[in-house]
Amino acid sequence: MSNLEENQLKIAELEQLILSLEPESQEFKAKTKELNKLKKETYSNLSHWDRVIIARGQNRLKASTLIKKLFPTFIELHGDQLFSDDQSIIAGIGLLNDTPVTILAQAKGTNFNDSIKRNFGMTSPEGFRKTLRLAKEAEKFNRPIITIVDTSGAYPGKGAEERGQARAIATNLMEFSKLNVPVVAIVLSEGGSGGALALTISDYIFMFENAIYSVLSPEGFSSILFKNRKTAEEAANIMKLTSHDLKEMDIVDEIILEPLGGVKTPSDEFIKDLKNKLANKIEELSNKDKKELIDNRYKKFRSIGL
């Protein structure tokens, strides 16, 4: 167990203790001061691996909750019209303030049973085809698209490969690059491999401060480079997978700052600020000529690494 995980357990114990105390008592004040000090010490100088742990936290904000907070008016749509409805994708139409938008989100479960239902956020070919179907519908009705990314990677199972996993991802990459409506992506927690890239070909990428976004997991990187999955922490430090690394390299456009310890239950102020950022960016992109929009998106991704 890392120092971060040990401190997180202590923080959770203190939070539970504080809830049982009288708010006006001296013990409440002392324990609150102790909690704030411990949080500051724990989260003031996070390593790359610490952010991996936070991004994967079971209590971390999930896409299903974020959608409810950002889009109180939301209608979910289902299926790829070919095989099935992939529950790792929540997709539909919502209102961002008064603007209709299409939302395409990778969803991890909020508890064990929900995680099983959603395949732990690992998307199958039918999930990618569902997102593409709704993206094309959004294009038809001139509706902006918001994607929410949270996956360790596309589902690697035998059935997924037999149903065309690689082609489904590749088709998304190609088609999203040509959509003539604004596309804004949010990297919420984990952004792993092609499963994440399939929903981040966009005009603008927001990334939560403690999220990670990389070509593969630190464990996968470690097993390839060091022939040992136990050195994942070292691999994470090499990979430059944090929001600050990626902003510095101009891969993501804007970092969404989080409260100490990461965002779990977002405050009304946090949601209001994020909603305003999304609305302003979509309005800005919507005012661009469609050819300019597509050309800029193409240039954005072609310039990475140059």
Whether 144 and 177 map to the same domain: the answer is: yes
The reply to whether 61 and 79 lie within a common domain is: yes
Q: Specify the pTM.
A: 0.92
| Burial category of 235 from C-beta neighbours within 10 Å (exposed 0-12, middle 13-18, buried 19 and up) | buried
Same domain, 93 and 15: no
Task: Tell me which residue of 120, 112, 126, 123 sits closest to 82, measured CA to CA.
Answer: 126
C-alpha span between 175 and 15 (Å, rounded): 47
In angstroms, what CA-CA distances link 169 with 40, 130, 176, 272? 41, 12, 11, 33
How many domains does the chain contain in total? 2
Closest CA to 244 of 185, 187, 298: 187
Q: Are residues 125 and 251 in the same domain?
A: yes
Residues 168 and 198 in one domain: yes
Q: Minimal CA–CA distance to 150: which of 263, 46, 286?
A: 263
**Domain span including residue 284:** 50-302
Under 8 Å between Cβ of 222 and 232:
yes
**In this structure, are 231 and 258 located in the same domain?**
yes
Q: Are residues 180 and 64 in the same domain?
A: yes
For residues 20 and 112, state if they share a domain: no
Same domain? For 13 and 81 the reply is: no
Q: Give, for all 306 residues of the chain, the pLDDT tens digit.
A: 688 989 899 999 999 999 999 988 999 999 999 999 999 999 988 999 999 999 999 999 999 999 999 999 999 999 998 899 999 999 999 999 999 999 999 999 999 999 999 999 999 999 999 999 999 999 999 999 999 999 999 999 999 999 999 999 999 999 999 999 999 999 999 999 899 999 999 999 999 999 999 988 899 889 888 887 678 888 998 999 999 999 999 999 999 999 988 999 999 999 999 999 999 999 999 999 999 999 999 999 998 865
Distance, in Å, from the CA atom of 65 to the CA atom of 228, rounded to the nearest integer, reads: 36
CATH number at residue 221: 3.90.226.10
Residue linked to tokens 């923080």: 11
Q: Could you tell me if 238 and 266 lie in one domain?
A: yes
Rama region for 72: left / alpha / beta (φ>0; ψ in -120 to 50; rest): alpha
State CA 230 to chain mean position distance: 25
- Between the alpha carbon of residue 179 and those of residues 84, 105, 127, 206, 295, the distances in Å are 24, 17, 18, 19, 11
What is the rounded distance in angstroms from the CA atom of residue 197 to the CA atom of residue 149?
A: 9
Whether residue 168 sits in one domain with residue 218: yes
Same domain, 173 and 95: yes
